[in-house]
């Protein structure tokens, strides 16, 4: 069965549509108004071999928090729905990812329990990001933690992401997305030895869509 999902999330603050194919080729089709986040989402798709299509709008006149966080929520919910009962998946995986001077570590467990540990060591200084109107604006790097918190909550997974060393905030964030993508790719893979079994002594890994924020 195809492991695909479409999620529509519309609030007074954001309007987001996410289409996901877990067993894709790494293609991303993004209509996303924050250039830096579009770059990160493209990297996540490519390194995870996920096909991801996202169309998003938000109240950027307020700030970037609502749109970035809600994107994480919608993408996490898409994974939860696409994976369904999680029969036969490897469930847990990790990746060490080097990017020039930066070394990132990501470890995930698609356990049905949401938990995030986020140690990125970011400076807090905004990055300059292109916007959809052809201009530029500062990117609020603190929203990256909000993205992953939203993702973990709606996907119902545990994720530990750490920067072990690094200098550039751009490299730190990008390495985290690439490490997380590769860890998630392995965790989502079907284990041919598992024969469709649930990888848990409990016999269940939770329902899809376990949490909608």
CATH number for the domain harbouring residue 132 = 3.30.230.40
**What is the Cα–Cα distance from 152 to 75, expressed in whole angstroms?**
10
Our count of domains for the chain comes to 1
Residue 83 forms part of a structural domain: yes
Residue 166 forms part of a structural domain: yes
CA distances 51 to 21, 45, 82, 124, 162, Å, are 5, 6, 12, 31, 25
pLDDT tens track for 113-142: 999 999 999 999 999 877 777 778 899 999
Residue 48 forms part of a structural domain: yes
Residue 212 forms part of a structural domain: no
Which two structure tokens, joined as six digits, stand for 163? Answer: 């920067």
pLDDT tens track for 68-121: 999 999 999 999 999 998 999 999 999 999 999 999 999 999 999 999 999 999
Residue 150 forms part of a structural domain: yes
pLDDT reading at 213 higher than 90: no
Residue 179 forms part of a structural domain: yes
**pTM of this structure:** 0.91
3 Rama sector, left if φ>0, alpha if ψ -120 to 50, beta otherwise = beta
**What is the Cα–Cα distance from 150 to 23, expressed in whole angstroms?**
22
What is the structure's pLDDT at 134?
Answer: 73
CB 18 within 8 A of CB 76: no
| SS3 state at 24 | coil
Which two structure tokens, joined as six digits, stand for 140? Answer: 């609020």
Residue 164 forms part of a structural domain: yes
Residue 24 forms part of a structural domain: yes
CA distances 82 to 12, 53, 102, 120, 138, Å, are 26, 14, 32, 29, 34
Quote the domain boundaries for residue 10.
Answer: 4-188
């Amino acid at each position: 069965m195809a492991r695909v999902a479409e999620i529509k999330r519309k609030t007074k603050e954001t309007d987001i549509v996410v289409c996901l194919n877990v067993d894709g080729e790494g293609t991303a089709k993004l209509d996303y108004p924050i250039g830096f986040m579009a770059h990160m989402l493209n990297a996540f798709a490519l390194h995870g071999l996920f096909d991801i299509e996202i169309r998003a709008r938000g109240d950027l006149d307020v700030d970037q928090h609502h749109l970035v966080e809600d994107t994480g929520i919608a993408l996490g919910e898409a994974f939860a729905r696409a994976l369904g009962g999680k029969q036969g998946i490897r469930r847990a995986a990790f990746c060490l990812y080097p990017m020039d001077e930066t070394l990132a570590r990501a470890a995930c467990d698609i356990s049905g329990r949401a938990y995030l540990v986020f140690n990125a060591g970011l400076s807090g200084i905004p990055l300059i990001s292109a916007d959809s109107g052809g201009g530029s604006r500062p990117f609020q790097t603190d929203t990256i933690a909000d993205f992953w918190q939203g993702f973990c909550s709606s996907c119902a997974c545990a994720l530990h992401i750490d920067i072990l060393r690094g200098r550039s905030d751009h490299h730190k964030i990008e390495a985290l997305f690439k490490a997380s993508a590769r860890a998630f790719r392995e965790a989502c893979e079907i284990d041919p030895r598992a024969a469709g079994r649930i990888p848990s002594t409990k016999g269940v890994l939770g329902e899809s869509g376990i949490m909608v924020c």
